[in-house]
Structure 1
Amino acid sequence: MPNGQAGSTPIFILSEGTRRQRGRDAHESNIMAARVIGDAVRSTLGPKGMDKMLVDSLGDVVITNDGATILDEMDVEHPAAKMIAEVAETQEEEVGDGTTTAVVLAAELLEKAEELLDQGIHPTVIASGFSMAAVKAQEFLEEMSREISIEDEEMLKQVAKTAMTGKKVEANIPVLADLAVKAVKQVAEKVDGGYSVDLDNIDTEKQEGGGVDDSILVDGVILSKERVHSGMPKRVEDARIALLNSPIEIKETETDSEIRVSSPDELQKFLDQEEGEIKEMVEKIVEVGANVVICQKGIDDLAQHFLAKKGLFAIRRAKKSDMERLAHATGGKIVTNIDDLSPEDMGKAGLVEERKISGEEMTFVEECENPKAVSILVRGGTEHIVDEAERSMDDAVSVIAKSIESGKIVTGGGATEIELAMKVSNYADSIGGKEALAVRSFADAVESIARFLAENAGLDPIDTVVELRSKHEEGNSQYGLDVYSGEVKDMFKEGVIEPLPVKTQAVSSGSEAAVMILRIDDVIAAKGEEFGGGGEGPEGMPGGM
């Protein structure tokens, strides 16, 4: 082909309508999306953080300052923004608290990265610097931590109080913290060199009515179920519980079949046989000494009648998770065939009782001997209060569990962030090359957490950070911000403490998300897909945000 014609034939690689952003445009769009996510939750950081009201497409309202809940309820469309929202999800699943910190850190890292990109530093160099700083930060956090024991109830309560401070249930924190500590201690199991806590063994039920202070801990399981027959006893003391994963009814044939009867006698015989089979099942349950039956499947009307006549208390269609908790709490075994039921399979509880709580029938299986599963019933005056109380309780239980499992705690109130920022900044001085600039930016991003803490408390962020720095330079590594008095104090003495994993996970997931977004230099969106840039919304924000 002659040279003159070389550029005259267009070559189509991507389908028509595909949108593409490359290089600096891609970075700007992704960083902008991450910053908007960071800005959305930043004002909720700390005890003086503000709340968000989230209204979904059905008009349901959620009012909260919990970072994970906010991002979960928000309809996020931008792909980079989704990656930042995933940071909150990971933080929530791993440690149950510190979601806002993790998201704000990721957004701040990307904002600092943008400044470095403007200086002509390559994204790979910045990403490398951030990764180096994150690894070093983990080491520093480990050095800065203190040990905590499962026996130190007062310290564990302080950890719970720190997690719940700033939520709507602040006035009721002592009661909730006490319940959370007792619950976690009860289900903690000793393993090699420490403890393990399976949070599935702590069930949080919520019920409107009363006040948050009316919340209770049950040494056993609360079921949102009522007994199946009104003729059954409402209260059974010294309960022997049969846990069945098998229906107490006549099994349907698996294939289509028909039964022909030629006379009323034959029909009666057939019905009598069915009745006899159900009676046999009930007799078997009574024979092994059960006085309570909790069934994961259905219970036939006739079976309900026979069980009631025998004076048994029965529940049907219990959730699988509730059945597992009941087995842990009562020491019983879940049996899948009634014929295999034996006295050794029975679970034991001091009391099984149906109670009406705010108009709802609930069954309490309590007074279990050394239960390995417990339930917390959270109360509150309105739906929003009880929802927020439940979220606070979940946070408290998670942080206590992480403190016990890791055996390490650090100080809150921005103390850990200021100290970490100083250590990372000193580390930057010890390394050469352009990576040092990225490491220093990482330190600034970590320090900004303390700055936002002061900002949300209505204090001067610059003055506060300067005062904190000077205290830390004097060797007071525990000093942080008391947002209520506006003074810089020893956070350990003030009881503002958090589990070490909350900080290490925030640094880890926040930096990983920032590095991943930073390494993207080309965004190719299929036809119909939208992404930031191109003016979909204010300042190039994607329209779906």
Structure 2
Amino acid sequence: MALHVPKAPGMAQMLKDGARYFSGLEEAVYRNINACKQFSQTVRTAYGPNGMNKMVINHIEKLFVTNDAATIIRELEVEHPAAKLMILASQMQEQEVGDGTNFVIILSGALLEAAEELLRMGLTSSEIVDGYELALEKALEILPTLTCYEIKDYRKEEDTARGIKPAIMSKQYGNEDFLTKLITKACVSNVPEKTTFNVDNIRVCKILGSGLQNSDVVQGMVFKRTVDSDVLKKSPAKVAVFTCAVDIMQTETKGTVLIKSADELMQFSRGEENLLENQIKAIADAGADVIVSGGKFGDMALHYINKYNMMAVKLSSKWDIRRVCKTVGATALPRLTAPTKEELGYADHVYVDELGDTSVVVFKLEGRESRIATIVIRGSTDNYMDDIERAVDDGVNTFKGITRDGRFVPGAGATEIELARQIASFAETRPGLEQYAIKKFATALETFVKCLAENSGVKSSEVVSKLYAAHEEGKKNHGFDIEGEGAAIIDVAEAGIIDLYLTKMWGLKYATNAACTILKVDQIIMAKRAGGPKAPQAGGQNDED
């Protein structure tokens, strides 16, 4: 009889061979903190207008050159479970506000770094977490008192531009004025009267060639393709949209036709042609000038479309079909039938244009409130245009934030230093051990000024002490001046360096929650990995799919 050999005692005997188990401070907590620290230091150098770019090559070897933290973490596919928690927090920030992902990762990294020192001093994780939560409560109490600017009417372009500009500045330093003008123009013209502003209504079309200064805003849609018909321009245009192919309809049942003579063959094909001609004539008679199709245009169909002087545009993506319908106010028809008046859309101009060596089809609306605007970005390389697109995305999201809450707090580290100063003095009033954690929370907030200074090549300790001195005197709005000589500080509210209140508020919440969640972990148990193919990634369909 074979004897059963017992496994190693403890956790290992419960789990399959190959499972890994870490516990205690040394193995679990410090390891987690270490991973998060390294991760946050990676994105720290990308913070602020002088932040460095990262070159990220993702799993399908696509190259990204950017300093946008959201893109860096999205493409890196981080495996470490604790670092993943930080990423989830920054992704929530991206969904909630659309900006400030870097803020979340840097702050949660700094909080964990501070927690490591406290743990080595002998505090327990729960005391640190309590302290951090108290400090967060206090910070969210102080934050509304720091507002330095408010946008009352976001339909005024110059007011809104003030709010959007700093968000662009941190991504595209030097081009912020031009880009702000484009984004403000696109957003303000698209604000609906009653419903909330939808970020999807601002589209971006990237066309290679020329320079950024030749970018422009088009009220309506721009597609990188050419038309199939001979007619290249219609204005004004009534638009009929079909999701099916515009071609001779295949019969539903397979039938056999016995043809005995040439006449019968002629009549058979003429019957098909007449049917198609009648369908296209009916569409033309309904008043349509432009036919948009989600499928292909048959040669015969194109012949009749040209005969009745219509324009044919093929769009292969069902998302694009939806957007065109939204832009021109049309209804997409699943079969080739004549549209009614209500189902036809309207555009002031539909035309083919050539930018560089790229043909584009433009659906343009002029007088009325347009539903969709497209920012046409020009640039010398695809990577450069992708980065501009990310800046535009941040600008549009900031505008959405403004429509929800128009308050702004001073940027350039002024808000963080003021919060740190007030939280540090709040720590003095606490009797328990959590006062150490509250003090460390204040120290963690200084990280942002240090990052800005170090990325600009200035001694960070000098800047921090100067800012504390200014804030002690009651100069709440003083922050670090990037363009000044050495450790210069200025009144950032006057200089127009301001941050959206919502970005800071959600950023503080998510960063602290992520750090506390990581600190509460004292054991890591990893089951043995399953063999076989990888599980499919969760997530919605991509636009380009």
TM-score (norm 2): 0.88
AA matched with 1:454? A
Report how far residue 58 of structure 1 moved.
Answer: 5.4
* Partner residue, 1:292: 290
Find the aligned partners of 2:142 and 2:296 in 1 and give their Cα distance: 56
User: How far did 1:8 drift?
Assistant: 11
Superposed, 1:3-402 pairs within 5 Å as 10=9, 12-24=13-25, 25-56=27-58, 59-145=61-147, 146-148=149-151, 149-167=153-171, 169-191=172-194, 196-229=196-229, 232-252=230-250, 257-263=254-260, 267-339=265-337, 341-368=339-366, 369-402=368-401
Report the Cα distance in structure 1 between the residues aligned to 2:59 and 2:228, rounded to whole angstroms: 37
Question: Quick check: 1:328–1:371 contact (8 Å CA) kept in 2?
Answer: no
**Which digits, 9 at most, give the CA deviation of each residue in 1:435-492, with x for residues without a partner?**
3332222222122111211121111111111111121122211111111114211111
Asked whether the equivalents of residues 162 and 497 of structure 1 are also in contact (C-alpha less than 8 Å), the reply is: yes
1:413 counterpart SS class? coil
CA distance in structure 1 between the partners assigned to 2:416 and 2:9 by the alignment: 55
Query: Could you report, residue by residue, the CA deviation over 1:475-515 in whole angstroms, capped at 9, with x for unpaired residues?
Result: 21111111111421111110111211211121122112112
CA change 1:140–1:269 in 2 (3 A) is farther
Percent of aligned positions with the same letter in both sequences? Answer: 31
> What is the 5 A alignment of 1:419-498?
419-485=418-484, 486-498=487-499
1:388 and 1:303, CA in 2 relative to 1: closer, same or farther beyond 3 A?
same
In the TM superposition, what whole-angstrom CA distance separates every residue of 1:315-346 from its partner, at most 9, and x where no partner exists?
12343333333333323333334436212322
Match for residue 3 of structure 1?
none
CA distance in 1, matches of 2:39, 2:104: 12
Instruction: Tell me the CA shift for residue 395 of structure 1.
Output: 1.6
Q: For the Cα contact (< 8 Å) 2:241–2:291, is it kept in 1?
A: yes
- In the aligned structure 2, how far is the partner of 1:128 from the partner of 1:281? 72
Quick check: 2:352–2:361 contact (8 Å CA) kept in 1?
A: yes
Q: 1:124 to 1:300 in 2, by over 3 A?
A: farther
Deviation readout 1:19-74 (Å, 9 max, x if unpaired): 11012111111111111110111011111111112234555432211111122222
Q: For structure 1, which segment, 55-64 or 139-148, has the greater mean C-alpha deviation from structure 2 after superposition? A: 55-64
Whether the 8 Å contact between 2:207 and 2:376 is mirrored in structure 1 is yes
Asked if the contact 1:207/1:377 (under 8 Å) is kept, the reply is: yes
Q: Is residue 467–residue 478 contact of structure 2 (8 Å, CA) maintained in 1?
A: yes
Amino acid at match of 1:261: L
Q: Contact 2:157/2:188 (CA < 8 Å) preserved in 1?
A: no
Whichever residue aligns with residue 263 of structure 1, its letter is K
Contact 1:161 1:173 in 2 (8 A): yes
Distance across 2 between alignment mates of 1:497 and 1:404: 16
* Contact 1:399-1:498 within 8 A present in 2 as well: no
Distance (whole Å) between structure 2 residues aligned to residue 142 and residue 253 of structure 1: 67
> 1:259 corresponds to which letter in structure 2?
T
Q: Which amino acid aligns with 1:117?
A: L
Give me the whole-angstrom Cα distance separating, in 1, the residues matched to 2:309 and 2:248: 22
- Would you say the 8 A contact 1:247–1:298 is kept in 2? yes
1:511 and 2:483 aligned: no
| 8 Å contact kept, 1:248–1:278 | no
Q: Which amino acid aligns with 2:386?
A: D
Could you tell me which amino acid in structure 2 is paired with residue 371 of structure 1? S
Q: Separation in 2 of the partners of 1:152 and 1:411?
A: 21
**How far has the Cα of 1:152 moved from its partner?**
4.1
For 2:515 and 2:211, how far apart are their aligned partners in 1?
42
Distance of 1:450 and 1:346 partners within structure 2: 56
Equivalent residue letter for 2:321 = M
Contact 1:37–1:85 at 8 Å: present in 2 too? no
Match of 1:345, SS state, is coil
Moved more, 312-321 or 411-420: 312-321
The 3 A distance-change label for structure 1 pair 118 and 315 is same
CA displacement, residues 373-396 of structure 1 (integer Å, 9 cap, x when unaligned): 110000112222222222222122
Q: 1:336 to 1:59 in 2, by over 3 A?
A: closer
Letter in 2 for 1:80: A
Q: What secondary structure sits across from 2:193 in the alignment? A: strand
Q: TM-score, normalised by structure 1?
A: 0.88
> Per-residue deviation at 1:251?
4.5
Q: CA deviation at 1:207?
A: 1.0
Letter in 1 for 2:174: A
Conservation of the 8 A alpha-carbon contact between 1:296 and 1:317:
yes
Residues 27 and 8 from structure 1, CA distance in 2 versus in 1: closer, same or farther, beyond 3 angstroms? Answer: closer
Aligned partners of 1:280, 1:521: CA distance in 2, in Å? Answer: 75
Structure 1 Cα separation of the partners of residues 95 and 165 of structure 2: 20
Report the Cα offset of residue 105 of structure 1. 0.5
- State how many pairs are aligned: 516
Aligned position for 2:535: none
Equivalent residue letter for 1:357:
L
What residue identity is the alignment partner of 2:288?
A: A
Counterpart for residue 538 of structure 2: none
**SS at 1:341 equivalent:** coil
Alignment of 1:413 onto 2:412: yes
Q: What are the superposed Cα offsets for residues 82-114 of structure 1, whole Å, 9 maximum, x if unpaired?
A: 222233322223222222111101111111111
> How far has the Cα of 1:120 moved from its partner?
2.3
Contact 2:22 2:524 in 1 (8 A): yes
Alpha carbons 1:291, 1:313 under 8 Å: kept: yes
Residue type matched to 2:516 in 1?
V
| C-alpha separation in 2, matches of 1:361 and 1:327 | 21
Unaligned regions of 5+ residues in structure 1, if any?
Answer: 1-6, 530-545
User: How far 1:159 moved relative to its partner?
Assistant: 2.7
CA deviation after TM superposition for structure 1 residue 418, in Å: 1.1
C-alpha deviation, 1:260, in angstroms: 4.0
Residues 281 and 308, structure 2, Cα contact 8 Å, conserved in 1: no
What is the CA–CA distance in structure 1 between the aligned matches of 2:385 and 2:19, rounded to whole Å?
47
Secondary structure class of the residue paired with 1:439: helix
- Per the alignment, residue 541 of structure 1 pairs with none
